[in-house]
Amino acid sequence: MPYRFLCSSLLIFGFSTYALATETNNTIEAQFKAALLCKVAPIDGRDAKVVKQLNQQNITVKNLEDDGLINLEYHFAKPLEIMNTTVSQIKHQGDSGSYFYAIAKGDIDTFAKAMGAIPIPADLKEEMSWGDIGQYYRYTAPITKENHFPSIILIGRDKNAKSDEFYFGCEAFDG
């Protein structure tokens, strides 16, 4: 009888640990997705504890800056799937605001349409420039007296990028 209890307990704890690991992984993936869409703050991979957690989820962090500015790359062993795109790498750059963006594989025009993004007008291209080709944007909130600079979801592609590769992510401004 004690063996049955021990086996049952191990089985239950084993599944609980698996569920916790799966929940943690889903939470991390969900946070990356939400940050790309300007819904939450990006994960800060400059924190050693955060890096350790990410490494346990097969997400590698490269800190390309040592002077306090944000210049991080996140590489995913298992790509994220976001709105019919595949994301294996995310970059986070910042100083008095930040860019948190993915390098995605998929169709840029279909993605932009699904996001409700519109082409960047010629008079805003210099201000909102992000890539050379197929630039789109969408404000995440209306421009108001209280919020002159709402976060923007930017979508674009460099002329040197592969035809199925583009960037998308969140540009946030410090208030």
* Position 5 pLDDT exceeds 90: no
Q: Residue 64's pLDDT band (boundaries 50, 70, 90)?
A: very high
* Position 14 pLDDT exceeds 70: no
Quick check: helix, strand or coil at residue 174?
coil
The position carrying tokens 């698996």 is 18
pLDDT at 134: 62
Instruction: From residue 152, give the alpha-carbon distance in Å to each of 30, 132, 148, 165.
Output: 19, 17, 12, 20
pLDDT at 18: 28
How is the chain split into domains, by residue range? 2-173
pLDDT at 26: 62
Quick check: helix, strand or coil at residue 130?
coil
**Which amino acid makes up residue 50?**
V
Cβ–Cβ under 8 Å, residues 59 and 73: no
pLDDT at 21: 36
